[in-house]
Amino acid sequence: MRTGPTLIVVAIALAAGGFAGYRLALPKTDAIVPAVAVDGQKTAKKLLYYRNPMGLPDTSPVPKKDPMGMDYLPVYEGEDEAESGLKISPEKVQKLGVKTAPAKMQMLDRSVRASGRVEIDESRTYTVTAKFEGYIERLHVNTSGQPVGRGQPLFEVYSPELVSAQREYALAAQGVGKLNEAGGEAQGAMQQLAESSLQRLKNWDISEEQVKALARSSDAKRTLTFRSPVAGIVTDKKAVQGMRFMPGETLFQIADTSSVWVQADVFEQDIAAVNVGQKAKIRINAYPGEVFEGRIAYVYPTLKAETRTVPVRIELPNPKGKLKPAMFADVDIPAGGAAPVLTVPTSAVIDSGPRQVVIVQLAEGRFEPRPVKLGQRGGEFVQVLEGVKEGEPVVVAANFLIDAESNLKAALGGMQKVEGAAGKPAAVGHKAAGVLNAIDAAAGTVTISHEPVASLKWPAMKMDFVVANPALVAGVKPGAAVEFEFVERGQGEWVVTSLGKKK
């Protein structure tokens, strides 16, 4: 075995022992850096290689950047490659604008939002009807939607029964007056007849004023005037001048609109935060910038299966009449919690549907994507039930890039590991060769006719692969013979992690 001059120099240096500062002439990769030993003396920490910051099975003996502009990370001898978290240089963190905020205990400022519509208060709706048969002689209110005041004349009616009852009462009242001096049973009978006639008129809703006028004049009036029982809006007018009506037939419907309802449709998942007595803020498109305040009066016990919503009734004062029935409304119901809960800013959560993730800063330049279980959502914060502890800093800006790196590492099955004393990283996944048939840049896939894959016992076939990074196929055109490596990310989903022209 031959020993070159360099090896002889190294042997002499090691044997001498006193030349602690001795260095070999190495390339410009700074392969050896000083480290403090136990005895207080400096030892050499050997640089093995530079690894891809995205976790791809790609290394370099010299510093370089990946296609995204991120610096390759140095790997030294003895370092634990299995260390959790992603490492990003402080310069890159500053360049990306990464910001963090601590998870903290606080009252969750939550609100339930729903859409609704303005409706008439059913308890303030009145029906005008007659309790006797008759004819409408004259209409004072001729149209639906017309506002009316309390006691305002609506229409006049003629009824033979009414005229007969008035005359009966007038005669009975006169008889009572004439029999005052006679006394005895005759006076008592006449008094009972008068009271019975009076009660009959009252049962027909004849006003006290009209009864007194009848008693004074003793003249039966041919028509009777019906007046509005409340101030409001005529919502339904069925009375027509000259028409005949029967007892109990609806002639007018009047609604008092000084107070209205807003029927809000609250989604099923939010109904637990809504209770009777809570205040609600209403916004109407017709009045931008104006907020109306109401109170939840009733939560309906039924669910609309078509929309998965529960109707909620909100009582709302309407003194100026601005709110019209059938107007659409945006409802905001404040629903703050009763006790402080652990929260993180809403911007810290990366929601992919079935999985929610936050990026936790473990140390300066080191981050860890962590799945979390979320609770109630507020305006700017969301409750965290599992996954994060109080005080842990979470990334609230530029977290999408860190999450992208994490997802790619998960797809590759972890970072490459040091293999043997030589310090070379082991390849991740499977190797194959074939012909690149097509590239679908929009879908991020390639079609390759590959040769048999021994590691998977696959025969030669043509199949589609997902590309981990679009830069992998840059400069490679369809029809080229290629060599590539790939891994299985999910069931039946194969990801190409490196690709190059076949040598």
pLDDT in tens, 343-364: 999 888 888 777 788 888 888 8
pLDDT, one tens digit per residue, over 64-81 is 887 666 777 787 765 544
Q: Which pLDDT value is given to residue 183?
A: 60
Checking if the pLDDT of 27 tops 70, the result is: no
Please give the mean pLDDT across all residues of the chain.
78
pLDDT, one tens digit per residue, over 305-315 is 999 999 999 99
Q: Which pLDDT value is given to residue 222?
A: 80
Per the DSSP assignment, residues forming a β-bridge with 332 are 113, 281
Checking if the pLDDT of 418 tops 50, the result is: no
Per-residue pLDDT, averaged over 217-221, amounts to 68
Q: Which pLDDT value is given to residue 170?
A: 73
Q: Which pLDDT value is given to residue 36?
A: 45
User: pLDDT class for 415, splitting at 50, 70, 90?
Assistant: very low
**DSSP notation for 260-315:** EEEEEEEEGGGGGG--TT-EEEEEETTSTT-EEEEEEEEE-S--BTTTTEEEEEEE
Token representation of residue 61: 């003996």
User: pLDDT class for 185, splitting at 50, 70, 90?
Assistant: low
Per-residue pLDDT, averaged over 12-34, amounts to 37
94-103, 150-159, 176-185, 317-326, range with the lowest pLDDT: 176-185
Distance of alpha carbon 178 from alpha carbon 373, whole angstroms: 92
496 with 465: CB under 8 angstroms?
A: yes
Q: Which pLDDT value is given to residue 3?
A: 43
254-263, 385-394, 466-475, range with the lowest pLDDT: 466-475
Give the CA distances from residue 468 to residues 219, 345, 497, 498, in Å, rounded to whole numbers and listed in that order: 102, 30, 6, 8
- Which residue segments constitute the domains of the chain, with CATH numbers given? 5-95 (no CATH), 99-110+339-397 (2.40.420.20), 131-248 (no CATH), 258-320 (2.40.30.170), 429-501 (2.40.50.320)
Q: Which pLDDT value is given to residue 28?
A: 39
- Give the side-chain half-sphere CA count within 13 A for 446: 29
70 with 53: CB under 8 angstroms?
A: yes
Q: 0.85 exceeded by the pTM?
A: no
* 3 state SS of 189: helix
